[in-house]
Amino acid sequence: MSATSHRRIVIGDVHGHYQGLMQLLEAIAPTADDKIYFLGDLIDRGSQSSQVVDFVKENSYPCLLGNHEHMLIKILTDKNASTPSIQGWLYSGGQATLASYKNGKIPQEHLEWFQSLPLYLDLGDIFLVHAGIDPSKTIEEQKAEQFCWIRDKFHSIQKPYFSDKVIIVGHTITFTFPGIAPGKIARGAGWLDLDTGAYHPRSGWLTAFDVTNRLCYQANMFKPSVRTLPLEEASAEVNLTSLKVNRNNSRLWT
């Protein structure tokens, strides 16, 4: 298929890296006919969360609810939010998000926009969701706790959840899977993980996947580096027999 065809482009976890996102989009050079989707976690960790949200919101790009937006909503709307919950969000990058807003205050229009974000998008041949799907439940039985937060139970499935579509996720940094090098997309049974760790110094790569042409665009947040690779070269398969995700560093897992 020609690279000039109408494209569907899915972008992984941005985590407040507005300049890096602009660098990535410059490489993609989307046209008015292209469809761009975000997998959630626009915010936290990076210093420009408010700019990222403004950009995605003002351009009406479809965006999923990520676990970081889920945390923010719960903290800002629950009058009984516990101190540990608040501290957990701040520790997981929330402080950087607040600092990106004038006077450290998130405007009501942004909060309402976060609350409007869908948990998943079914596009026929692909299914977009932030974290994954509980393989023991139907789609109707699942909630934000599964769609925004699940990890091992989804990643360890041995056969695809769907017979007719690929699940595309973010949420879990790909180099935390055994045998997956920093910057590589992870492939599992019927799923692809695009979270290549844009905020993390071990990687720095922000990834977009052109579904139409099976091309991966990547921009590095820590050095002026951009690359475009075919999916087969940009990705690696997760070895289920050694799937033991290291969770010692809690900052990596929220």
What is the band of 253 on the pLDDT scale with cuts at 50, 70, 90? low
Q: Which residue has the higher pLDDT, 169 or 87?
A: 169
Does residue 18 carry a pLDDT above 50? yes
Look at residue 216 in the predicted model and tell me its pLDDT.
98
Does residue 152 carry a pLDDT above 80? yes
Q: Which residue has the higher pLDDT, 245 or 6?
A: 6
Determine if residue 18 is left, alpha or beta; phi over 0 gives left, psi from -120 to 50 gives alpha, anything else beta: alpha
Does residue 176 carry a pLDDT above 60? yes
Look at residue 92 in the predicted model and tell me its pLDDT.
87
Model-level pTM? 0.93
What is the band of 78 on the pLDDT scale with cuts at 50, 70, 90? confident
Average pLDDT of the segment spanning 146-158? 96
**CB burial readout 200-222, b (16+ within 10 A) else e:** beebbbbbbbbbbbebbbbbbbe
Look at residue 85 in the predicted model and tell me its pLDDT.
85
Cβ 174 vs Cβ 12: under 8 Å: no
Does residue 246 carry a pLDDT above 80? no
Does residue 126 carry a pLDDT above 80? yes
Determine if residue 157 is left, alpha or beta; phi over 0 gives left, psi from -120 to 50 gives alpha, anything else beta: beta
What is the band of 82 on the pLDDT scale with cuts at 50, 70, 90? confident
Cβ 89 vs Cβ 71: under 8 Å: yes
What is the band of 83 on the pLDDT scale with cuts at 50, 70, 90? confident
Least confident segment among 13-17, 84-88, 110-114, 176-180: 84-88
Q: How many C-beta atoms lie closer than 10 Å to residue 17's C-beta?
A: 26
Average pLDDT of the segment spanning 118-138? 98
Least confident segment among 27-31, 46-50, 88-92: 88-92
The DSSP 8-state label assigned to residue 176 in this structure reads G
Does residue 250 carry a pLDDT above 70? no
Q: How many C-beta atoms lie closer than 10 Å to residue 138's C-beta?
A: 8
Does residue 247 carry a pLDDT above 90? no
Look at residue 133 in the predicted model and tell me its pLDDT.
98
What is the band of 254 on the pLDDT scale with cuts at 50, 70, 90? low
Q: For a pLDDT cut of 90, what percent of the chain falls above it?
A: 82
